[in-house]
Structure formats: structure tokens, C-alpha cells
Amino acid sequence: MKALEFNYKDTALVPAVDLQTLGVQLAPEIKRIQAALPTGYASDYASINLVTDEHMHTAIQAVADEKKRLNPKILIVIGIGGSNLGAMAVHQALKGTLYNDQSDELKVYWADTVDADYIHTIITHMQAVLKAGHSVLLTIISKSGSTTETAANAQIFLALLKRYKPDDYFRYVVAITDKNSQLWNIAAQERFVSLEIPKKVGGRYSVFSAAGLFPLAMLGVNITQLLEGARFLMPELLDTTIERNPAALSAISLAHAYRSGKTIHDTFLFSVALESVGKWYRQLMGESIGKEYNRSGKLVHVGITPTVSVGSTDLHSVGQLYMGGPRDKITTFITVQNPGVSLTVPTDPAYAKFGESIQDVSLSHIMDAIIAGVQKAYSKQSLPFMRVVLPEKSGFYIGQLLQFKMIEIMYLGYLLDINPFDQPEVELYKEETRQILARE
């Protein structure tokens, strides 16, 4: 077993003096997070303890085993934001974006919007399965237990489930939420199985809680391997020797870039299956770092805008902007060293001039050449970037990547003097929405 590879030297363009200064500034925060490990879920850093909570892991797996015995054909995950982005990211990374089309296993649909057309499509699939006499499992996830979109979708899908399984519908529902939330209490009344998200674990940090692990366990992901990967990297991520700590080095590079006027962080993923990992990170950074006030209550409007690009596709959509446009970005390239399959361009003289030097060459070799070419072009243009290389696309390394990024954001929040654990402005739209609906 080995760790993912992180590189920043000579490419993130952080002067040695700034690296040292920011490293000294960050050291006390690293020690605070280390000190939070024995405290369980008592501190704002609670999520770092999820990967070692064996009691929770056992309970999640037990519920998954119980619900698998119902032999559901479809899993519908009803949640939004941190309640489903983590599970979606891991599932797509390991099972692929075409999973539902190619697999005979339990299919999954993510009900993460109140777009009526989209939700109706999921309802159509669900109704067809229920009409055929098969089962559907609903997983309702809401950290607060009262999210408007989740509540609306849950009631729609529950009504359909009750129509086809009026006597025992409760067996086909799992609720995942804070203890004693509205959803928790409704689940108790309805006899749904409930799994708890620890109070101090925020939604965007909850991928290693039941919010992420239960759907993944249902879908055949080896959650033990995922957690092992996260645990494996933890000593490096909490190392007070900055040069050995990839999360600290990444946070320092991002903080330096922000202070140098680079307010956009692009995560450039050279694997289609990792796109949802980018979207998960987009929420993690957006909600954690975009803040109106600093820790002292001073108005600052701090924020780094996270964007997601997929290679090599987006080299042909936004590559021109990235390399020729405003110098307001820092990039993290994420690549996979060993792809799961090998495909080679065939040799055919008729197509010898259709592309140069590509016949009898593997697609992975072509991709590697593109990645090297892009990074060389960035270097020549003095565009700052970092590189994360996963040895392979497995649960072990995806677990490492997610843990790395969550701790990176904790460090970055400290360096920018904001609270990376709250999201007060998100509540603004929620409250306005509730008032509008109440008046209608």
C-alpha cells in the first residue's frame, strides 16, 4: 500500500519565504486538529473521527445487509448537497458514469433537485419496478432534517411507495439525519430505520458518515477499503512537518494564490469517472471558504471560486480561457496512473494520416502525453498548478483523496481566517423560500 502522490514544487509558484511563513502560521492549527482526535465528535473537527468509528461502521453495514434481503431493484437517494454529493462521487468514481445502463446490480437514482421533469423520470422508473412486483428502497438524507427540496421529494416518493406497499412500506425506507431532527422524529413515528449523522459533522464533511457509507454499502462499494484509504493517509495529513503534509502544502499554495489575486481554483480531473469528485469538492470549497465575515466578525467577503474541468474534453472548451485569459486561477490536476483497462488504436494504412503518431498506441499513453503537454504549457505560461496522482482508481485511493481534500479545506479556512464549518448565507435563501411558500 502507498499514498497518493502530491506535487507542488516549482509549479504552484509559492516563494520559499511565503511557504515558510504560512507553514509557521498553520502549525498551531495542525496541533489543534491532532488534539481533537481523542475527543470524538465533540469539536468542529468531528469529521476526522468518522473513519475510526467502528461501532458506526458496523451499524451501517448491518442496516445495509438487512435492506439487501428485501432484494430492491432500485435505490433512490433523496438528498441535496452534502447529503448526497459524497456518495455520488465515490460511486461514480468506482462504478462509472454509465453504471445504470451497464449493470444488472441494484440501480441508483439521485433525487437531488425539485426539477419536475427530472423527478418525474425517476418516478417513472420506480413505478415500473413496483408494478412488476419488485421492491424499491428509499434513502432520505438530510443533515438538518428539514431541507425543503428533500422534504418535498421524500413526500412524493413515499406517497408512491405507500400506494404499492400499503401494509409494510416502512420496511423500504431508511432515514439518515441528525438525532431528534424533524426527519428523525417522523422516521420514529413511521417506523423507518434511522441512521444518525453526528451533530458536529457538517453535511459537506459527512461522506464517511452514514450519509455516504450507507448508500455506498447498498451499491456494492467496499466501504472498508474506502475507510482504510482515508485512515492510511491521516498521519501525513496531520504531520506538523509541513514539507511532508500534502493537505498543508495544498492549503498554503491556495492561500498564497488567493493573496496574489488568484480567486479561482480549478480542479482539472483527467478521468471522466472522477467528475463527481470534482463536484463534491466544489461544494466543500464553496461553502467552507466563501464567507462574508472573518473569525473576528470583520466584513471581508473572502472566497475562492471552485470550478471543475474534465480532461481531455474541457481542453477543447475552456482551455483557451485558462491559458490565454485572465491570470486569476490556480489549478489542481488530478490524474490516475494505472487505468482499469487498456485500449489501443488499431493499425490501418487507410487512416495513417488521420491524426499523427497514434496508430498502435494505447489511449492511456495518448492521455499521458496530453497531460504532460498541458502541464508543460502551464509551466511555460507561469500558470500555477498542483498535481495529485492516484496510483489507481480504487476505493483505497478515493478514500485518501476525499480525506486529503477535507483536511486541506480545514487548513485553508484557518489560513484565510474564516470558519470553514458554518454556512450562514445558505440559510438566507432557505428562509426566504420558506416565507414565500408560507404566504402562498
Q: Is 430 a catalytic residue?
A: yes
**Domains defined along the chain, listed by start:** 5-35+225-415 (3.40.50.10490), 46-221 (3.40.50.10490)
pLDDT at res. 113: 97
Yes or no: say if 423 and 287 are a contact pair by the CB < 8 Å rule: yes
pLDDT in tens, the chain (440 residues): 899 999 999 999 999 999 999 999 999 999 999 999 999 999 999 999 999 999 999 999 999 999 999 999 999 999 999 999 999 999 999 999 999 988 778 999 999 999 999 999 999 999 999 999 999 999 999 999 889 999 999 999 999 999 999 999 999 999 999 999 999 999 999 999 999 999 999 999 999 999 999 999 999 999 999 999 999 999 999 999 999 999 999 999 999 999 999 999 999 999 999 999 999 999 999 999 999 999 999 999 999 999 999 999 999 999 999 999 999 999 999 999 998 899 999 999 889 888 878 999 999 999 999 999 999 999 999 999 999 999 999 999 999 999 999 999 999 999 999 999 998 887 777 788 888 888 76
Whole-angstrom distance, CA of residue 385 vs CA of residue 409 = 17
Cis preceding linkage at 271, omega within 30: no
Whole-angstrom distance, CA of residue 254 vs CA of residue 292 = 19
Whole-number Cα distances in Å, 63 to 67, 99, 190, 191, 290: 6, 23, 17, 14, 36
Q: What is the DSSP string of 296-362?
A: TS-EEEE--EEEEEETTGGGGTTHHHHHHS-S-EEEEEEEEEE-SS--BPPP-GGGTTSSSS-TT-B
pLDDT digits (tens, 9 = 90+) for 84-94: 999 999 999 99
- End-to-end Cα separation, the chain, in angstroms: 58
Whole-angstrom distance, CA of residue 139 vs CA of residue 407 = 28
- 299-302 and 291-293 as β-strands: parallel, antiparallel, unpaired? antiparallel
Looking at 238-357, list the stretches that DSSP marks H as alpha helix, in order from N- to C-terminal side: 246-259, 275-289, 319-324
Closest CA to 153 of 216, 77, 218: 77
pLDDT digits (tens, 9 = 90+) for 271-305: 999 999 999 999 999 999 999 999 999 999 999 99
Cell output for 30: 495542525
Whole-angstrom distance, CA of residue 334 vs CA of residue 394 = 14
Yes or no: say if 277 and 269 are a contact pair by the CB < 8 Å rule: yes
Q: Is 165 a catalytic residue?
A: no
The single residue of 287, 291, 393, 405 carrying the catalytic annotation is 287
Whole-angstrom distance, CA of residue 5 vs CA of residue 217 = 27
Please report, as a single letter, which amino acid is at residue 29.
E
Please give the angle made by the CA atoms of 307, 312 and 315, to the nearest 5 degrees. 65
Contacts of 10 (CB under 8 A, 6+ apart): 379
Q: Is 31 a catalytic residue?
A: no
pTM of the model: 0.96
Cell output for 438: 408560507
pLDDT at res. 432: 81
The single residue of 131, 298, 316, 353 carrying the catalytic annotation is 316
